[in-house]
Every structure is written in structure tokens, then in C-alpha cells.
Structure 1
């Protein structure tokens, strides 16, 4: 039990050392991630449709 208490005390101590992003930075990072995910989704959807169409043409 002592080990568990010690572990959580050390975790709490380390969390106080963390440099958390400011609100403006957090919003900027969030927008960047969402834009990247949206772009990758559209990109792979277009590639998937292209490959599916190509395979359909080959098989017909």
C-alpha cells in the first residue's frame, strides 16, 4: 500500500512541473489537429473512390 501512495504522491509532484499550454495555444493546436484530420479524411476518401472505380473498370 505504501508503494501506491508513494506513486501517486510522485505523480502529483511531477504534474505540478508540467508546462501546460495557454488557452490561445490550446485553441490553435486543436484547430490544427481538426483541420489535419479533416484533410486526411477527404484525401483518403478520394483515393478510396479512385481505387474502387479503377478496380470496377478492370473487373468489367
Structure 2
């Protein structure tokens, strides 16, 4: 922010806080979903192959 924008009313501060809070929550959700998808991509195929090997035997 500019030097002149530092003095805000309470309503302006609330609006800015809500915007930043929404962005922070979105970032956390996206990071979690990215991590979960990456975990599933890296772990499910080997586990499925092991289960298939146990059931079928080859």
C-alpha cells in the first residue's frame, strides 16, 4: 500500500481483511487439494499393484 492508504476507516479495514482472509483460505484449500492429489497419484498405483499381485499371484 501507498503511504497515503495506511489510514483506513473501520469499514475499509473490515473489507480488506475479508478479502485477504478469503485469499488465504483459498490458498490453503488449493495447497491441501494439491498435496492430497499428489499423495494419491504417488501411493495408489503401487498399492493397487501389490493388492493385484496378492490376489492374482502374478
**Normalising by structure 2, what TM-score?**
0.64
**1:25 aligned partner:** 12
Task: Work out the number of aligned pairs and report it.
Answer: 44
Which structure 1 residue ranges, 5 or more long, are not aligned?
A: 1-16
**1:48 aligned partner:** 35
Q: In structure 1, what is the Cα distance between the partners aligned to 2:6 and 2:45?
A: 55
Q: In structure 2, what is the Cα distance between the partners aligned to 1:43 and 1:51?
A: 12
**Normalising by structure 1, what TM-score?**
0.62
RMSD of aligned Cα (Å): 1.9
The Cα offsets for residues 18-52 of structure 1, whole Å up to 9 and x where unpaired, read as 74111111000000011110111111100100000
Which structure 2 residue ranges, 5 or more long, are not aligned?
A: 48-58
1:59 deviation in Å?
3.7
